[in-house]
Structure 1
Amino acid sequence: MAYKIITSQCISCNLCLSVCPTNAIKVVDGQHWIDPELCTNCVGSIHTVPQCKAGCPTCNGCVNQSSDYWEGWFANYNRVVAKLTNKQDYWENWFQCYSQKYAEQLQKRQHHAVAAEA
């Protein structure tokens, strides 16, 4: 899957222009964009990772865009819902709650053990 979108987080530093081995990144009217016909995702080159992504100082200037409409739609939906609700992952919440309660129980047992020894 080729990197097809340069996001609004792009700071126009032009580093991607100089590192792209296929010259797929273009600037038109001050806006950067990736030509999907030229972008190979750096596959078949000497690079092991896409150079636009690796060289981007914002780390989010170049992003994957799915060629499957529904896959892309659900990925965007899930990302937006996560930002809007600002909710943590279920398992992350569970782990934090469990580890906190476990730490409290451990402290109580250690306190009882110290009190019993004295």
Structure 2
Amino acid sequence: MAYKILTSQCISCNLCLTVCPTNAVKVVDGQHWIDPELCTNCVGSIHTVPQCKAGCPTCDGCVKQPSDYWEGWFANYNRVVAKLTNKQDYWERWFQTYSQKYSEQLQKRQSQSVGSEA
């Protein structure tokens, strides 16, 4: 799976041009793009991560280009869901809210059962 440069995120800093070990990054009509025939994802080089992505100051300029429809669909879905739910906090907030509501209901029932016994 080759990488591609999101032109809307690219700030034309040209860092990707200098760090690519296979010279796959090209500039055509002022737009940066990665030649998928030359891109190796830096596999087989001394680098452990793709250098275009590692060197990109925007962190979103270079992204993996899906090799098939469903891989691309799920990548988009996961990206959008992560933005919508702020995934890091979503389940923690859900658990806190649920446990608080459950605790309140439990206290109500306990106070009702204590009040009916008297």
Residues 23/82 of structure 1: CA separation in 2 closer, same or farther (3 Å cut): same
What residue identity is the alignment partner of 2:22? T
Q: Distance in 2 between matches of 1:92 and 1:33?
A: 39
Cα displacement (A) at 1:88: 3.9
- Give runs of aligned pairs for residues 46-61 of structure 1, distance below 5 A: 46-61=46-61
SS state of the match for residue 32, structure 2?
strand
- Superposition map of 1:38-49 within 5 A: 38-49=38-49
Paired AA for residue 79 in structure 1? R
Q: Equivalents in 1 of 2:97, 2:61: separation in Å?
A: 35
Instruction: Give the TM-score normalised by the residue count of structure 1.
Output: 0.71
Question: Alpha-carbon deviations, 1:6-65, whole Å to 9, x = none?
Answer: 011110000000000000000000000000000000000011111001111011110001
Distance 1:79 1:98 in 2: 26
2 CA distance for matches of 1:34 and 1:15? Answer: 13
Given the superposition, is the C-alpha separation of residues 58 and 88 from structure 1 closer, same or farther in structure 2, using an over 3 Å criterion?
A: closer
Structural RMSD (CA): 2.7
SS in structure 1 of the partner of residue 58 of structure 2:
coil
Matched, 1:10 2:10: yes
Structure 1: gaps of 5 or more residues: 102-118
Query: Which residue is equivalent to 1:19?
Result: 19
Q: 1:63 to 1:93 in 2, by over 3 A?
A: same
What secondary structure does 1:47 align onto? Answer: coil
* Matching residue of 1:87: 85
Counterpart for residue 72 of structure 1: 72
- Tell me what 1:108 maps to: none
Q: Which deviations, in whole Å up to 9, do the C-alpha atoms of 1:58-98 show, x marking residues without a partner? A: 11110001101122023224434554xx3344523324536
Give the stretch that moved more between structures: 66-75 or 24-33. Answer: 66-75
- Percent identity over paired residues: 86
Structure of larger gyration radius: 2
